[in-house]
Structures are given as C-alpha cells and as structure tokens.
Structure 1
Amino acid sequence: MENGYKVYIKKDFSEIGIKKDYDKVLIITDENVKRLYIDDFIRTLDLKNIIYYTINPGENSKSIKVYEEAFKFCIENGMSRKSLIIALGGGVVGDLSGFIASTYMRGIDLIHCPTTLLSQVDSSIGGKTGINLGNYKNVIGSFYRPEYIYMNINTLKTLNSNEFLSGLSEVIKYALICDYKFLDYLLKNRNKILNLEYECLIYIVQKCSNIKIDIVKKDEKESGIRKILNLGHTFGHGLEKLGGFSHGFAVAIGTHMAFRLSYKKGYIDKAYYDKVLNIYKAYGIPITFDDINSADILDVMKKDKKNSFLKINLVLPTGHSALDVVDNIDEKEMLYVIEEVKNEF
C-alpha cells in the first residue's frame, strides 16, 4: 500500500523477513502472546540481535509507568537509532510499542504484527500511538508510521470467543461508515465467520484494512474525514473505562447509542436502526449495559480528546453507511439516550 502503510496478510510468520540491518531488534509483546508465539517468532526472524520485553495483557499496561519501564529496558539493552521495535500482539501492545518507537531517540523503526482481529482491522493501521492518563484515553501519543504491518491471519484462531467478537464490532463499524453491502455479507456469512473459515477471515481483514488505509491516506492527522472512524467511540470510551468492557464491546454499545440518537432526531429511519441492532444481536455482541452511572459516562465523554471548543464531538449516522460529525447535541439529549440504552438491559 502507498503512503507508508504497507500491509501484508499471510497465513503464518514465515515471510516477515527483515530486510534492513539493525543493531538490535526489540519485540514487545504481552504474556498471552509470548506464551503462544514468541519462540517460533524468534526462530522465524533468524537474527542474532533479538531481545524481547513482555507486558501484562490489558488496558492498564497503556500507562506512563509501563512506558517508562519499557523505555529504561531499551536504554539498558543498548538500543540506538539503528534499532527496530516489533509490536507482536493486540491493540494495547501496538499502541504502547508505537509510542515508544516514536519517542525513543526521537524515533526508530517500527513494524506491527497484530495478532487480534481488532488490531488487524483497525488499531495497527493509520499510525496512531498512545497511552492513557487516568480516565483520559490515549491523551498522550503521536502519529507514527510503521515500516509495514504484517498480519498472520491464523493468529485469529487462538482468540477466545469474546476477543474475536470484540474485533467483529470494529468490522461492523467499517460497514456502517463506508460499505452498506458489507452489512449483508456479514449477515449472510455469519456462520462461516464464527467458524473462522479462512477465506472469510481473509476477506473481512482485507476489506476493513483497505477501507481504513483509503481514509487515512486522505486525512492522516484526523482533521477531516478520518473522524468518521470514531463512530461509537465517544460514547464507548466511558463504558470501556467505567464498566470494564473490551474496546470492541464498548464501541458496539456506543454505536447503539449513536444510532438511537440519530433515529430519535430523524437522521435515519427505523428500518436501518433495527437492521444494525439485529446484526450485533446475530453475533451475540452486547449493545446495552447496566450498573454504570449515566452521568459518569457523560463526564468521561466531556474529557474526550476529540472534543474542541468545549463541545462534545459525536459521529452520527445520517443514512446507509453515511455519517456526519456534529457538536450541537445538547448534553441532556445525550444523557437521555444513555439512559434509554441502559434501561434496555
């Protein structure tokens, strides 16, 4: 792919071959991925200068503390401007590794090897890196292009059901922002996708990565069209932080809120609203919640990094795979919609 986002989708790691000469190659991964892949991955690279650093799985590792500890590891192991970082794992590993690579000695080379569906279709593409600060998600970060992104599609077969479904939430998002016919594909091929049939996995990963690359090429720094990729995220981040939902499930519920708000305001019709909800239900992806204070969710939304001029920016559907970014929704309307979705539990 052009514009610094080369993506390779393969059935294993055998073709990852590192072409450049590096004095050190650091693999950053988490405990789960390390257990599954690290030995074979290192053998495949067949380099003498490999080291690896392991973090705990989960969003808590996207912190200043973990960033600092990993940074010290880089220094203590003699990494230089001629070193390489490989992010081997899901979205947390990718976001943290990318930020380390972008800031270590003002930037060293980075390769993404995403191993989850969510990271393959979304977070590894587009150059976003970041760590969290309390309730402020990804508020510390940078835009940083990897050398390339290498996806081993068969890593998806080691995911548990919730991890896979969390990634499918982002797949559905791409249908909602760009390709209405893709919704029908997801409905028609539900059983094949849930059975992890190889051809379906290849198709959905290629489809979503191509959509995202096309959008990023038009708007790398998210000043315009790229904002539509945040469908469901502003509502969802509160659920992710306060309710312990995975990113994908939080975005699914947040997308339900966005569609409910658009339906109530007359931007979309009931048939489209119902179709979208039925797709999530068909896959068993949650679209409602309980036991979280709605006002607390709104408070997290107010702190979202995508806001500007003290206004909450929302991505709302306006038609079949059509969206708009608005900042004129009254907070009471948002709170009412959060309450409605919550009461459907």
Structure 2
Amino acid sequence: MATLNLDLGSRSYPIYIDSGLIQNPHLFDKHIRGSRVCIVTNDVVAPLYLESIKSQLASYNIDEVILPDGEAEKSLANFERIMTHLLANEHGRDTSLIALGGGVIGDITGFAAACYQRGIDFIQIPTTVLSQVDSSVGGKTAVNHPLGKNMIGAFYQPKAVIIDIDTLKTLPVREFNAGIAEVIKYGILGDKAFFEWLETHIDDIKANDEETLTLMIQKCCQSKADIVASDETEAGVRALLNLGHTFGHAIEAEQGYGKWLHGEAVSAGMVLAAKLAVEMDLIEVSDLCRIENLLKAFDLPIAAPENMGFNEFMKHMKRDKKNIAGQLRFIIPIAIGKSEIRSDVTQETLQQIL
C-alpha cells in the first residue's frame, strides 16, 4: 500500500492508495473517533459498494444518504437534504461522514461536514479517476449554483483519503477518460517528465493495468499534496491547479451541469489555454499539438461547444474565483511542464481564440 501524507500541521492526513482497501476495516478505525457514521453516496455507487463498506463498519451505528447521480445534483437542495438527515437522526459532533463516490459526492459531503454543527469529521473514499487524482485531495468542498460552479463552499480537510483502485473497474469508459484530463493537467502545469511518461503509457492506462494506474494516481496525489501543503487556500501557487478550469467551468455552466463531464470541459479548457499561450508567443505550436494528441488519445474533446463564442464564455468567466478587482486571470502553459498565472490577456486575444 502506498501511503502519502498531506502536511498541514495539526490538520495533516494520510492518502492511502492500493487495491482492496475498502475491505480493510482497520483503515476506517484509525480515522473514526465516535460511534456514529453517516455514509453519503449516490444511486449508481451505492449498489456496487455501499454494503461492502457497511460490513467493514459493523461495530458502528451507521446510516446513509443516497443522492441521485450527476453533476446537476451538487446543489444547495441536496446539501440541505444531507443537513436534514443529520438533524432528523440526531447526529452529533462526534459523527463521521464518509464520502463514497466521485467528485460530486466528495465535494458536497465535505461541504456538509464543514457546516454541520460548525464542523465534523469526514473521510474520502473516491471511486472515479477524477476524484482519486484530484478532487478528494486538498480540502476544496462546494456546491454549484446556476450562476457559477463551486461558488458556494469552504476549504475543509478530510481525516483521510482511501483510494481503492479496484473501484475503477466498474467505472464507465467515458467517466474514466474524463478523469484522465485531470491527470494530463498535472503534466502540463508542472511536470514535463510525467507528461512524457503519460505519452508512453497510453495503452497501459486504457487497459487498466494495476501497476500503471497505481503509479499514475500516486504521482498526481503527491503533486497535489505538495502544492496544497504550500498554499492551502489558493492564495498563490495552488491556483495553477486550475489550468483549463476557467474555460472549463464556463462550458459546464453554459451547457448545463452534467451535459459535459467536468474532465471533458477541462480538456477543452486546457486546449484553449494552450492556444492563448501560442497567441502570446509563450509556447510553440508543436507543444499545442502534443497536448491535443494526448487528450485525443483518451477520446477527450479539444474544442469548445459550437454554440459558445466570446460572449458566452465571458459572462461566466467574469465570475471566476481567480479574478481580482474584476481583472480576469488565466493559468497558461509557458512550456509543457510549466505554467503561470497571467492577468495580461487582452480581450482581442481572447476573441481570437474563442
């Protein structure tokens, strides 16, 4: 079992990566301090893994909240549904929440944990590529609003992240590939060697080779843990993890949450960011082509929706969380393996690429 540590002083926590981890009750016992547990999951993951998790927690008083599946369900209404369940069942501050599912479940459960009685413990059990390599690590929790993605939330760290790569065996191919967009992101923004490793391991990744997936997930989690440890609340370098997200979140909001998977929108967004870099003479066209080719290898989109142009993007990007004093800021690659936060992108350049 690979064990990483996200170093945040008294709020540090482990990230466990291996196969078969949801069958290990000792991992849960190490991070649950009370006698009550509430599992939050969705109606796709629950039939696959809920009973298995509950069997490992037989010594606890357990109940569950099962939400509908999908990005559209990361809503204030479902946040309230979790709160109502916790209150109606008289959960206290010693309750631990368990987020069993992908990024939507992890985000909304973490936000509920941050808010219920001003903060209770929670554990992440991510079951998708996207959540295993990105959203389960780092303590960003949120729900969506029709006017903006992840605009209502909190920075709130879990007690542990338990990544069982066996859960990827039941993941649909489209969801798997969408998660790989976030994997590729790490290579583009800060690790050229990892980007090149991905280029040479496409077939192994697509074949769900256990050793390859473990190494891939471990590398992504370590990269994110290092960045979060140095900038927990995104005051500086952590913003680099939003490569492709300024454009991607605009696509999700404009198209309707769930029409494009998050990773698909980020994929198109990273290409747009790379096109900005080409227009600004920061990278060569050959680098853009390598980025596009790696994304295409996993059947990911490299172009924005046809019904979105400059005006459609701008109305959403004006609400982006990275903006300061109304100034748009973008994460732009200046080489494969290096990115910068830039606020000098002109509207003319944006119009050119959009």
Q: What residue in structure 2 maps to residue 304 of structure 1?
A: 320
Q: What residue in structure 1 maps to residue 102 of structure 2?
A: 90
- SS across alignment from 2:44: helix
Does the 8 Å CA contact 1:25/1:51 hold for their aligned counterparts?
A: yes
Q: CA deviation at 1:48?
A: 3.7
> After TM superposition, which residue ranges in structure 1, 4 or more long, deviate above 3 angstroms?
none
Does the 8 Å CA contact 1:236/1:254 hold for their aligned counterparts?
A: yes
Of 230, 234, 237, which aligns to 2:242?
230
Of 130, 139, 159, which aligns to 1:127?
139
User: Over residues 248-270 of structure 1, what are the superposed CA-to-partner deviations in whole Å (9 max), with x where a residue is unaligned?
Assistant: 01000000000001011100112
Q: Distance in 2 between matches of 1:249 and 1:126?
A: 21
Q: CA deviation at 1:283?
A: 2.0
Q: What residue in structure 2 maps to residue 151 of structure 1?
A: 163
Q: What residue in structure 2 maps to residue 278 of structure 1?
A: 293
Of 325, 328, 331, which aligns to 2:341?
325
Q: What residue in structure 2 maps to residue 7 of structure 1?
A: 15
Q: What residue in structure 2 maps to residue 343 of structure 1?
A: none
Of 100, 104, 122, which aligns to 2:112?
100
Does the 8 Å CA contact 2:187/2:336 hold for their aligned counterparts?
A: no
Q: What residue in structure 1 maps to residue 228 of structure 2?
A: 216
Does the 8 Å CA contact 2:248/2:265 hold for their aligned counterparts?
A: yes
Q: Distance in 2 between matches of 1:297 and 1:173?
A: 21
List gaps (5 residues or longer) in structure 1. Answer: 339-345
Q: CA deviation at 1:22?
A: 1.5
Letter in 2 for 1:168: I
Of 39, 64, 67, which aligns to 1:52?
64
List gaps (5 residues or longer) in structure 2. Answer: none
Q: Distance in 2 between matches of 1:311 and 1:290?
A: 25
Of 125, 147, 153, which aligns to 1:113?
125
Q: CA deviation at 1:183?
A: 1.6
Q: What residue in structure 2 maps to residue 342 of structure 1?
A: none
Question: After the TM superposition, which of the residue ranges 142-151 and 131-140 deviates more from structure 2?
Answer: 131-140
Does the 8 Å CA contact 1:280/1:287 hold for their aligned counterparts?
A: yes
Q: Distance in 2 between matches of 1:320 and 1:190?
A: 17
Q: What residue in structure 1 maps to residue 93 of structure 2?
A: 81
Q: What residue in structure 2 maps to residue 262 of structure 1?
A: 277
Q: Distance in 1 between matches of 2:182 and 2:161?
A: 18
Q: Distance in 1 between matches of 2:81 and 2:243?
A: 33
Q: CA deviation at 1:23?
A: 3.3
- SS across alignment from 1:6: strand
- With structure 2 as the length reference, what TM-score do the two structures score? 0.93
- SS across alignment from 2:50: helix
User: Over residues 224-246 of structure 1, what are the superposed CA-to-partner deviations in whole Å (9 max), with x where a residue is unaligned?
Assistant: 11010000000111111223211
Q: Distance in 2 between matches of 1:116 and 1:180?
A: 24
Letter in 2 for 1:309: A
Q: What residue in structure 1 maps to residue 28 of structure 2?
A: 17
Computed over aligned residues only, the root mean square deviation of the Cα atoms, in angstroms, reads 1.2
Q: Distance in 2 between matches of 1:291 and 1:269?
A: 25
Q: Distance in 1 between matches of 2:199 and 2:152?
A: 38
Q: CA deviation at 1:135?
A: 2.3
Q: What residue in structure 1 maps to residue 214 of structure 2?
A: 202
Does the 8 Å CA contact 1:253/1:288 hold for their aligned counterparts?
A: yes
Q: Distance in 2 between matches of 1:320 and 1:65?
A: 41
Q: Distance in 1 between matches of 2:136 and 2:13?
A: 10
Q: Distance in 2 between matches of 1:5 and 1:239?
A: 33
The number of aligned residues is 338
User: Over residues 28-81 of structure 1, what are the superposed CA-to-partner deviations in whole Å (9 max), with x where a residue is unaligned?
Assistant: 001100011111111122234000001111112111111111101000111001
Identical counterparts, % of pairs: 36
Q: Distance in 2 between matches of 1:66 and 1:260?
A: 37
Q: CA deviation at 1:83?
A: 0.6
